[in-house]
Chain A
Amino acid sequence: AQKITQTQPGMFVQEKEAVTLDCTYDTSDPSYGLFWYKQPSSGEMIFLIYQGSYDQQNATEGRYSLNFQKARKSANLVISASQLGDSAMYFCAMREGLRGAQKLVFGQGTRLTINP
């Protein structure tokens, strides 16, 4: 079974609009971490935001926020006021276990296109 599911292969959004990228996860471990990465056309993986399973507050980093709904096992990325430079592939990923640093499990990715 997929541990990380990103159901939107592609999304098109107008510049300056907010956008939500969906991510659901599956784990029975009570301790886990959720990550979002951005991959622009140049190919590198850029870390955006992290949410720990025990964190009480939703994570925020500038224009990025993570809408963490633990009971639903969802960790959606919200980008406020989108910019042309946000056009990229976005990956949701999960680390299981507090010390499970050895493995990130990735979703299939969502390709976001920001239209001017």
Chain B
Amino acid sequence: EAQVTQNPRYLITVTGKKLTVTCSQNMNHEYMSWYRQDPGLGLRQIYYSMNVEVTDKGDVPEGYKVSRKEKRNFPLILESPSPNQTSLYFCASSSSPAVGGYTFGSGTRLTVV
């Protein structure tokens, strides 16, 4: 089954404790992105990757890091999480050109206390 797999689904952590949210896709897509969703703001892009070793900032990259060492994986790293990073996070992938749907993971609900 074609899918984007995110882990974990839920995470509660404390301020400053480094964490990684994993994302993996099995569709051989070139493009992968991370978004965060906050009430009233819709989804905003954090980082994206156009292919292996090619990443760039989205609209809200502060406090996040990513890497793309393999085509299928695109982890999101919070080196020192803060409460304002409490959010619902989505990983998404797409082929090029992106006609049709982007495929989203199931989401990770992160709470930083």
Contact = CB atoms under 8 A, between A and B. Distances in A.
A93 B104 CA distance: 13
Interface of A: 4, 33, 35, 37, 43-45, 47, 50, 52, 91, 93, 95, 98-109
Contacts, number: 69
Given A44-B107, A99-B97, A101-B94, A106 B102 contact: no
Interface in B64-101: 88, 90, 92, 94-101
What are the 3 closest A-B residue pairs judged by CB atoms, nearest first? A47-B101, A101-B98, A106-B42
Interface in B37-76: 40-45, 48, 50, 56, 58
A108 B104 contact: no
Nearest to A97: B97
A100 B98 contact: yes
A50 B97 contact: no
B25 interface: no
Contacts of B102: 35, 47, 101, 104
Contacts of A102: 31, 33, 48, 50, 56
A47 B100 CA distance: 9
A33 B98 contact: yes
B88 to A, nearest CB: 7
A101 B31 contact: yes
Most buried by A among B44, B92, B104: B104
Contacts of A43: 88, 106-107, 109
A35 B102 CA distance: 9
Contacts of B44: 106
Most buried by A among B43, B58, B88, B100: B43
Nearest to A45: B104
A109 B40 CA distance: 8
A103 B33 contact: yes
7 contacts: A33-B99, A37-B104, A99-B97, A101-B31, A103-B48, A104-B45, A108-B40
